[in-house]
Structure 1
Amino acid sequence: MNRLVIGIGALLFVLAAALSSFFTVHQTQQVLVTQFGQPVRVITQAGLHMKLPFVQAVIAFDARLLDYEAPGEEVILTDQRRLIVDSFTRYRITDPLVFFQTVGQAEIGIRGRLSSIVSSSLRRVLANEPLLSVLSAERARAMGEIRRQVNEEARRFGIEVVDVRIRRADLPDANTQAILARMQSEREKVAREARAEGAEVAARIRAQADRDRTVLLAEAEGQANILRGTGEQEAIGIFAESFNRNPEFFQFWRTMQAYREVFGSGEARMVLTPDSDFFRYLRAMPELPHAR
């Protein structure tokens, strides 16, 4: 009977030892094997593995990407503006041994350290950035610098910081209205300066246009006078040449032009004697001269 009990006990011990010797590593895990509390080896490959029963223990760490959301805090920018900044950090455990030695086996232990690191880096970097940079596309550059600094400090804990982002950036309630009023005043000042510069440029353009117009009109008038004088000179020369060729016909032609201008409308009134020289060609129609 005693032998049977001893045999059953030995069998149970061997079975328990065998079951304690095997453990499974999941695909989302990485394992640190310790012996009497001292780290022995790190296992990152998923599958079935062995350890010494009752002597060695297995501590599992998450191999996936982890998130940490930092509480909102107030930072002062380079232009002395204040912002309430909420940030989040994505990280993963890359060295379980270092993580275990510096933080412990609980992942929650890294959150306090990350909070301090991220807060310090946010304050250092944003202290050199103006408000417009934080609220515009230039924020990506600042966040890249913050991520680099946080990652360098976090490596000593066996983790890799993949990303640090500002989730929300708000003005403190007490300063919001004052800052908005100051920003509006600055924008209005810039607008006034732009309008003044525009008015000055417009005045210069109008003055130049008026000057150019005056010059063009003067030049055109001078050219017109020159052409008009040349035309009158040529007309006088033509009349003089015509008169010299046939004075009698020229005088007859000029008289006919006068008849057409006087009697053409049919409404002209003239007070002349019938024997006036103006009617000499009308009185002597049969004796009209012929052009030579």
Structure 2
Amino acid sequence: MIGAAVALVVLALLVQMSFFVIDPTRQALVTAFGAVKGKPRTEPGLYFKWPWEDVVRIDKRLLHIEAEEFELIAGDQKRLVVDAFARYLIVDPLKYYQATSNNEATFRSQLGNLINGNIRRELGTVPLQAVLSERREQLMRDITAFVQKPALDEYGVRIVDVRIKRADLPRENSEAVYNRMRTQREQEARQLRAEGDEESQRIKAGADRERVVLLSEARKKSETLRGEGDAQAIKIYADAFGRDPQFFAFYRSMEAYRQALGSAGTTMVLSPDSDFFRYFGNIGGQLPQAAPK
């Protein structure tokens, strides 16, 4: 009874050790004493192996690697700090295992060096402006193509794409460029303010000149009109005097009375037989005769 139970336990262990399952996100290699046995198992399902054999599972999803940040010299001799990443698929698990012994840290270090080396080579032939412009996309495609063959031949890995996350000047260069740009902008601002002040003064001076001209023309026109009015008045007076000298003299006297006596409190000391009063007693303007002595 006990022997049968032990036999069942041993049989269960043998069955457990002889079968393995691969899920859709993995692929596997069967090894015995470090040597790979058979072909890679790349499809999901239940597989058989001998109890003394081991199973090495390898990811077959789209994977991501961050390359270490590094510095390079661009084609125009400008220093550049680059931070890149890549996406890849393990398409040949046997080659991958033989190259890395399934040591992910070792593989990532080697692939990162391969990526950085190709980035350094490609960007070292173009100016900084190309990295920052629309040419950047084409540069990424070229780098991906350069990395593709050695990654596949050496590691069984297909590079989907290589991308540059950041490509900047070193910190000390960035600060120098920023300070230089700030100085330039301040100079431009001062220049614009000076030009604005100059334009303002020019406009103001033009307005002042125009005001002086307009006032001068207005005064000239006013004097002209006043002169014309005075001339017309003189002409009217002259015509009136020519037609009726006696009435003109009477009118002038009335104007003199109005101006002299028009305000209240006016005191005048004159002789009664003064020419000023010639129309007071006689509308004809004849002065009264002095009484005989």
Q: TM-score, normalised by structure 1?
A: 0.62
- TM superposition shift of 1:41: 6.5
Distance 1:254 1:102 in 2: 135
Indicate how the Cα distance of structure 1 residues 266 and 65 shifts in structure 2: closer, same or farther if over 3 A, else same. farther
Query: Which residue pairs with 1:164 in the alignment?
Result: 164
* Contact 1:92–1:160 (CA under 8 A) maintained in structure 2: yes
SS in structure 1 opposite 2:280?
helix
Query: Which residue pairs with 2:262 in the alignment?
Result: 264
Amino acid at match of 1:258: A
1:79-131 Cα distance to aligned partner (Å, 9 max, x none): 97756x47352x4333522883896444431344335534763782897337x
Query: Structure 1: which 5+ residue stretches go unaligned?
Result: none
Indicate how the Cα distance of structure 1 residues 56 and 230 shifts in structure 2: closer, same or farther if over 3 A, else same. farther
Amino acid at match of 2:88: I
- TM superposition shift of 1:78: 8.5
After TM superposition, list the pairs within 5 Å mapping 1:1-292 onto structure 2: 15=15, 19-20=18-19, 22-26=20-24, 29-31=25-27, 36=36, 40=40, 42-43=42-43, 48-51=44-47, 53-54=49-50, 59-61=57-59, 63-64=61-62, 66-68=64-66, 70-71=68-69, 73-75=70-72, 85=81, 87=83, 89=85, 91-97=86-92, 100=96, 104=100, 105-108=102-105, 109-118=107-116, 121=119, 124=123, 128-129=127-128, 144=137, 147-156=140-149, 157=151, 158-161=158-161, 163-166=163-166, 171-172=171-172, 182-183=180-181, 185-244=183-242, 246-266=244-264, 268=266, 272-284=270-282
Q: CA RMSD in A?
A: 4.9
SS in structure 1 opposite 2:225?
helix
Identity of aligned residues (%): 29
Indicate how the Cα distance of structure 1 residues 69 and 259 shifts in structure 2: closer, same or farther if over 3 A, else same. farther
SS in structure 2 opposite 1:258?
helix
> Which has the higher Rg, Structure 1 or Structure 2?
2
1:189-223 Cα distance to aligned partner (Å, 9 max, x none): 33443344334433433343334334333333343
* Contact 2:71–2:82 (CA under 8 A) maintained in structure 1: no
- TM superposition shift of 1:65: 5.0
How many residues of Structure 1 are paired with residues of Structure 2 in the alignment?
264
